[in-house]
Structure 1
Amino acid sequence: MSDHLVKKRLGYALVLGSLAALGPLCTDLYLPALPSLANELNTNTATSQLSLTAGLLGLGAGQLIFGPLSDRFGRMRPLLLSLMLLLGASVWCAMAPNIDQLIIARLLQGIAGAGGAVLSRAVARDLYSGHDLTKFFALLMLVNGLAPIIAPVLGGGLLTFLSWRGIFGALATISILLFIFSATKLHETLPVERRSQGGAGAMIKSLGMLLRERQFMGLCLTQGFIMAGMFAYIGASPFVLQQIYHLSPVTFSLCFAINGMGLVLAAQVSTRLAAVWGELMMVKIGLIIAAVASVILVIAGALQAPLVTLLVPLFFSIINIGIIGPNAGSLAMQSQGRNAGSASALLGVSMFALGATSVPLTGIGGTSALSMALTLCGCFAIAILIFVLVAHPTFAKKTAAA
């Protein structure tokens, strides 16, 4: 890697991290408004959570669109298109007269917001490899991690003088600013000679090849189910902490921010340790933390424990994302060069599609601390099984062959 790229690493992380933050912003900014949104639109908790589910499905589906497109046409044109679509979808969300239209608009908003998420990883792979890629992913998580910390706090603050519709208006404003920023500050990182050839058939073939790579898909699904647990927390925590434990929107946002800060710090520490112990070891450590913390969280939920007793295992359940995320993502992307956009898309779609499935599970029979904890624990258990049975054996074979 050239000295020029080393000097530019932080700058790229700030720009690409802001784009990657579109996913968390689309989901987290309006979290404190979910209860009031449900009341105003005359709907119940489970139905209002479908607006979050729709956004997550869109974030997953959009990556399957913009990832392969970026391998074919370069990174910039799909990125600017996604930001234009995000503006239109955010305006529709702000003006939606009922929950049905809001769910549709949220789906489109998620599709549009996926552009920044998938292309930030693809551009990183264009520029870096090996431990440099892991370090850059950690920088992305540092910048990107500010979004889930700031977004609910900002959303809670906005609710003091705006309705939930105003929050979607804020997202529309953010999309305009990011469009201007991207158009003036970024440049194309995928030369024409490195772009995939052919039309839709070639893009589908590229995705099909990745689906057959056991190591890549094992890491992809491991990360996906870990993130599904986090999205279950994102979808259920506003109701658990505000309606059951009676926290105000601002206090809830502060609790959410503490967990986000822990996630960011865990990402930075794990990346430094990965330079010594390796990314594979850090993934294993993260999965152990996930297992222990989520089991304790289930016990706390079953006993209807006091708030502090619930928040401590919840904190450790969330920070493992910062350990597993950059390390598993780097291991998965390191083997992908020409197909970085498609690989990034599959990483993203696994996270958001599985997350969209986990959110409604927390509302079955009524959202509670126990339902949230059981969903987290179940997602983490599946992630561990996939890693042990699918991903890890491929590393063992490579070690034996060496």
Structure 2
Amino acid sequence: MIQSDSPQKVNSRPSLFLTILLGTLSAFGPLSLDMYLPALPDIQLSLHTSATAVQASISACLIGMAIGQLFIGPWSDRVGRRQPLMVGLAVFTLSSFALIFIHNIGLFLIVRIVQGLAGSAGQVLSRAIARDLFDGVKLTRFYATLMTINGVFPVIAPILGAALVSLFPWQSVFVTLTIIGVILVVTSLFGLPETSQVTHNQLEPLNFKAVFKNRLFMLNASLLALVNGALFTYIAASSFIFQKDFHLSTTSFSLIYAFNGLGIALGAQLMGRLTGKTSDRNLTRWGFLIPIASSGLMLLNALTVNNFWLFTTALWIVVVSIGFNNGITTAIAMASTSTNIGTASAVLGTFSELVGGLASPVVGLFGSTSSIPMISLIIIFEIIGLILLGLTSVTTTN
């Protein structure tokens, strides 16, 4: 039988150090992906390969992140959070360093998978550590802060990557990731205490079954997955819509994309401020209702005048709502389980990335010169989320 002692919850406000550290750990996605996007053409020339092969390195890292969570989360339930985190950070740092010296696309893709596997430790364990330390309103507000920090990185990372590539060879991006990895290893080693008090039987099988049988958790995890589906629908389609339908330049689109990225951070921060003033369910309900209304306005606009400013404003409201709901749905999902927290965080993250990953090609199947497919798919995700939210309320009362 597995036995575990619940760690003592933090009653005071989280320290600035803990907030920044866990926020950075949760942002391994933008760090590993967005920062090196400006370097893709240079990497293609340097490795003497095709654009398709270099772009596959994005998918390789994402696959690693999705799979890695399923191993690291349950492992942390057995041995605590520090050991898996330190191993993940060390491997991430070493793989980033190795990418500096690779000149073969096949090996480059393999190491990118390893980098994603290791980087998933930051994503899955930042959620688990927060759940170890906080509950109730404190947990929701802390997740809101993490999502705020997370939302800033997609804005900063590509700008930093572009600056590095303009001044130095493409390897400078991975030099920077190596330095970030070393900093996180040192700060986590000396500044992050163990938060999960475990006395597990090391031979006990991984307990995914208990997580999947938790109906309330799985319903709440589905809410976050649907929010992620709407987010990746926007990410996959927005560049084509702005550049092909509205004929914007690459620079103009980049500015709008950055402004929307700040909108995600603003939405998460707004959610944190509203937490405690009404129930989490009410906040989540508004988080689904507002983008449905705003998407409806976008759809009406696309079918009639197709005004650029009306579309851009309504889309920004949708993106802010995604940032708002990302934090709140993460909080209610993690709050609906008090055992197997690392495993639950792994299922939550992998499920969300799976739905998000499926949304990208689905929206592409319907063409890239109109905003209607993107708008329609976002509406579908948000409506299903509203329906599932009703089911979670029924499950809670039963």
Give the TM-score band, short-chain normalised.
Answer: 0.7 to 0.9
Quote the Cα distance in structure 2 between the aligned partners of 1:363 and 1:325: 23
Cα contact 1:122–1:341 (8 A) shared by 2: yes
Match of 1:354 in 2: 355
Matched, 1:86 2:92: yes
Residue of structure 2 aligned with 1:197, choices 179, 201, 206: 201
Q: Which runs of 5+ in 2 are unaligned?
A: 1-6
- The alpha carbon displacement at 1:378 in A equals 2.0
Match of 1:120 in 2: 126
**Are the structure 2 counterparts of residues 285 and 102 from structure 1 closer, same or farther at C-alpha, using a change threshold of 3 Å?**
farther
Match of 2:266 in 1: 265
Quote the Cα distance in structure 2 between the aligned partners of 1:304 and 1:170: 46
Q: Deviations over 1:247-301 (max 9, x none)?
A: 23xx554433311221112112223323122111111111123323445556777
Q: Which runs of 5+ in 1 are unaligned?
A: none
Match of 1:339 in 2: 340
Quote the Cα distance in structure 1 between the aligned partners of 2:285 and 2:186: 41
**Are the structure 2 counterparts of residues 84 and 331 from structure 1 closer, same or farther at C-alpha, using a change threshold of 3 Å?**
same
Q: Deviations over 1:334-359 (max 9, x none)?
A: 12222111111111111222223333
**Are the structure 2 counterparts of residues 84 and 333 from structure 1 closer, same or farther at C-alpha, using a change threshold of 3 Å?**
same
Residue type matched to 2:393 in 1? F
Q: Deviations over 1:161-180 (max 9, x none)?
A: 23444323322221111111
Quote the Cα distance in structure 1 between the aligned partners of 2:134 and 2:390: 24
- The alpha carbon displacement at 1:83 in A equals 0.9
State the SS of the aligned residue for 1:70.
helix
Residue of structure 2 aligned with 1:43, choices 41, 47, 50: 50
State the SS of the aligned residue for 2:167.
coil
Match of 1:70 in 2: 76
- The alpha carbon displacement at 1:241 in A equals 5.5
Cα contact 2:65–2:116 (8 A) shared by 1: yes
Quote the Cα distance in structure 2 between the aligned partners of 1:240 and 1:100: 33
- The alpha carbon displacement at 1:128 in A equals 0.7
**Are the structure 2 counterparts of residues 343 and 3 from structure 1 closer, same or farther at C-alpha, using a change threshold of 3 Å?**
closer
Quote the Cα distance in structure 1 between the aligned partners of 2:185 and 2:283: 36
- The alpha carbon displacement at 1:115 in A equals 0.3
State the SS of the aligned residue for 1:192.
strand
Quote the Cα distance in structure 2 between the aligned partners of 1:374 and 1:3: 45
Quote the Cα distance in structure 1 between the aligned partners of 2:243 and 2:318: 20
**1:296-307 alignment runs, 5 A limit:** 296-297=297-298
Q: Deviations over 1:354-381 (max 9, x none)?
A: 2233334455587x3537x635642552
Please give the TM-score of this superposition, normalised by the length of structure 1. 0.84
State the SS of the aligned residue for 1:245.
coil
Residue type matched to 1:374 in 2? P
Quote the Cα distance in structure 2 between the aligned partners of 1:97 and 1:300: 49
Cα RMSD between the aligned structures?
3.2
Cα contact 2:145–2:272 (8 A) shared by 1: no
Match of 2:377 in 1: 378
Cα contact 1:83–1:179 (8 A) shared by 2: yes
Of Structure 1 and Structure 2, the greater helix share is in 1
> Which has the higher mean CA deviation after the structures are superposed, 178-187 or 291-300?
291-300
Matched, 1:285 2:291: no
State the SS of the aligned residue for 2:193.
coil
Q: Deviations over 1:57-114 (max 9, x none)?
A: 2222111111111110110110011111112332344445455444433322221111
Using the aligned pairs only, state the percent identity: 32
- Number of aligned residue pairs: give it: 389
**Are the structure 2 counterparts of residues 246 and 104 from structure 1 closer, same or farther at C-alpha, using a change threshold of 3 Å?**
farther
Residue type matched to 1:22 in 2? F
> Which has the higher mean CA deviation after the structures are superposed, 129-138 or 222-231?
222-231
Quote the Cα distance in structure 1 between the aligned partners of 2:357 and 2:96: 19
State the SS of the aligned residue for 1:277.
coil
Match of 2:3 in 1: none
Matched, 1:247 2:250: yes
Q: Deviations over 1:105-148 (max 9, x none)?
A: 33222211110111111111111111111011112122222212
Cα contact 1:259–1:315 (8 A) shared by 2: yes
Cα contact 1:74–1:192 (8 A) shared by 2: yes
Please give the TM-score of this superposition, normalised by the length of structure 2. 0.85
Match of 2:393 in 1: 395
Quote the Cα distance in structure 1 between the aligned partners of 2:44 and 2:376: 27
**Are the structure 2 counterparts of residues 179 and 212 from structure 1 closer, same or farther at C-alpha, using a change threshold of 3 Å?**
same
- The alpha carbon displacement at 1:10 in A equals 3.5
**Are the structure 2 counterparts of residues 139 and 112 from structure 1 closer, same or farther at C-alpha, using a change threshold of 3 Å?**
same
> Which has the higher mean CA deviation after the structures are superposed, 97-106 or 118-127?
97-106
Cα contact 2:65–2:119 (8 A) shared by 1: yes
Cα contact 1:259–1:319 (8 A) shared by 2: yes
